[in-house]
Structure 1
Amino acid sequence: MTVLHPAPRYASNEGVSAAISAALGDMLLSTKEEHGEILLTVARDRIEDVLRLLRDEHEYQQLMEIAGVDYPSRPERFEVVYMLLSLTRNHRVIVKVTAGEKTPVPTVTTLWPNAGWLEREVFDLYGVLFSGNPDLRRILTDYGFEGHPFRKDFPLTGYVELRYSEEDKRVVYEPVQLAQDLRQFDFMSPWEGADYVLPGDEKADVPPVADPKTTDGPNKTGAGAKADAKAAKPVSEGAPAEKEAAAKEPGAPKPTEDRPDELPRSEKSRDTKGATETDKDIE
């Protein structure tokens, strides 16, 4: 049975950017298409109007996510990214605004209730302020946490560490104390090696790997006097074949070297009979 659904399997971006650009007007700063999705950069103070227009007139019903991005070198270092989904058209758009450390972004909790939690995440991790949010508190870090951990300039070790004190019977916050200095790792290719001498390598002598190691004799193993003495001892008295040959069995033939020399032949090879007979046979 064929199941019909109003949403197509694949929604094309053809004409979407032009239609949205015409609808937003001066509220739109720039638009482009990347990785198969349309990205819209809009004015920060008009973000609520932009998202309301996309929801009501262009059928982007759901706010899927709000994310933050940090670019410390920019005058307004943060970007707040809104990801919208149209269920009826099976299409997505991304809307972005820029913000500074002390520049608040208007809240969109008036449009989607779930924006309250999403804005709290961006505030907690990046420090972006959202004006109009009724409950802008930390949501992932602790109440006494200092700083915002997703900023690029936030130290890897943090500013303070917490532990439970048996003396005070509570959680206490203390300055970070590392057992050893934080190592600065080099992420160069391990098989190509670094183009400088690593600390400590200047003390090591490079062994002559290419020169073959030889010894004066087979009993000189190079492993010390004990190993040389053990190598000098014979492994066995003789090979198994030599032991068997030394044992004489009754009726065994004499060794070839113990037999007497053969008598000279009477004729040469051209005379077959004389060549096979000795002088003793003729007598």
Structure 2
Amino acid sequence: MVDLSRFESNLDQTYSEAILSIQENNDHILLETLPSAIVKLAGHLKSKKGFLFNTLIDITAIDFPAREQRFDIVYHFLSMTENQRCRVTTSIADGEEISSITSVFECANWFEREIFDLFGIKFTSHPDLRRILTDYGFEGHPLRKDFPTTGFLEVRYDEVEKRVVYEPTALTQGYRDFDFLSPWDNPHVYTDTEQKNKNK
């Protein structure tokens, strides 16, 4: 069981305005903070006695297109000393930049590059912010909700030209929208057989 009162008391008063919420869920500490405080907070969680979250497990992002603060950036920390996990979440708008935490955790380098590549979120003060999973000339960011499932370009090796070529995506069949009501989600939707049986 997490002692949230002890956790809160160990946080410096300087974070009182930056921390938006502290909760506990499944023995994990959940923090929500302002993006401007992420570097100092990561350093505090890493080195302060009572925390010692000196392992950065992962950083990821979540896209919420309908929100003004479109992206959540989620940091997962582990304290082996305290046998405790902490998830820190911060929100930014589309086009807004956030500070890199590579100065605190060097392993954040590739995590932040992955987020930049797949979501287009830029990390200021990152030592080498470039694509890590997609090709150098790739257009767009594949994990954004507004990225088309077909992509923008098709990549193939041309045997005649003996090189990789980029072409506009050519689909052999038209795009089909499968957004329809499922009979398992809505009890009022029946199959033809069920409807006939009901009418008998």
Aligned match for 1:128, one of 115, 121, 128: 121
Q: Does 1:45 align with 2:36?
A: yes
CA drift of 1:196 comes to 9.2
Q: Is the 1:21–1:28 contact (alpha carbons within 8 Å) kept by the matching residues of 2?
A: no
Instruction: Find the aligned partners of 1:148 and 1:191 in 2 and give their Cα distance.
Output: 32
Q: Secondary structure at the match of 1:92?
A: strand
Q: Write the letter of the residue equivalent to 1:93.
A: C
CA drift of 1:80 comes to 0.8
Q: Does 1:112 align with 2:105?
A: yes
More strand by share: 2
Name the counterpart of 1:13.
2
CA drift of 1:168 comes to 1.9
Q: Quick one: percent identity of the two aligned structures?
A: 40
Name the counterpart of 2:145.
152
Task: State the TM-score, normalizing by the size of structure 1.
Answer: 0.61
Structure-2 change in CA distance of 1:191 and 1:50 (3 Å): closer
Structure-2 change in CA distance of 1:136 and 1:31 (3 Å): same
Structure-2 change in CA distance of 1:165 and 1:191 (3 Å): same
- Residues 102-133 of structure 1 show CA distances to partners (whole Å, capped at 9, x for unaligned) of 21110111011111001001111111110000
- Residues 177-220 of structure 1 show CA distances to partners (whole Å, capped at 9, x for unaligned) of 100012222461379899599xxx9xxxxxxxxxxxxxxxxxxx
Q: Is the 1:125–1:150 contact (alpha carbons within 8 Å) kept by the matching residues of 2?
A: yes
Aligned match for 1:33, one of 20, 24, 27: 24
CA drift of 1:34 comes to 3.0
Name the counterpart of 1:94.
87
Q: Write the letter of the residue equivalent to 2:168.
A: P
RMSD: 2.5
CA drift of 1:143 comes to 1.2
Q: Secondary structure at the match of 1:154?
A: coil
Aligned match for 1:161, one of 131, 149, 154: 154
Structure-2 change in CA distance of 1:125 and 1:191 (3 Å): closer
Structure-2 change in CA distance of 1:181 and 1:16 (3 Å): farther
Instruction: Find the aligned partners of 1:87 and 1:100 in 2 and give their Cα distance.
Output: 33
Q: Write the letter of the residue equivalent to 1:155.
A: P
Structure-2 change in CA distance of 1:17 and 1:59 (3 Å): same
CA drift of 1:139 comes to 0.6
Q: Write the letter of the residue equivalent to 1:189.
A: P
Q: Is the 1:40–1:95 contact (alpha carbons within 8 Å) kept by the matching residues of 2?
A: yes
Instruction: Find the aligned partners of 1:73 and 1:151 in 2 and give their Cα distance.
Output: 12
Q: Is the 1:161–1:176 contact (alpha carbons within 8 Å) kept by the matching residues of 2?
A: yes
Instruction: Find the aligned partners of 1:76 and 1:119 in 2 and give their Cα distance.
Output: 19
Instruction: Find the aligned partners of 2:95 and 2:36 in 1 and give their Cα distance.
Output: 14
Q: Write the letter of the residue equivalent to 1:74.
A: R
Instruction: Find the aligned partners of 2:93 and 2:27 in 1 and give their Cα distance.
Output: 29
Higher RCO (CA 8 Å, separation ≥ 6 residues)? 2
CA drift of 1:22 comes to 5.4
Q: Write the letter of the residue equivalent to 2:150.
A: T
How many residue pairs were aligned? 188
Q: Secondary structure at the match of 1:26?
A: coil
Q: Is the 2:28–2:85 contact (alpha carbons within 8 Å) kept by the matching residues of 1?
A: yes
Q: Secondary structure at the match of 2:176?
A: coil
Q: Is the 2:154–2:168 contact (alpha carbons within 8 Å) kept by the matching residues of 1?
A: yes
Task: State the TM-score, normalizing by the size of structure 2.
Answer: 0.85
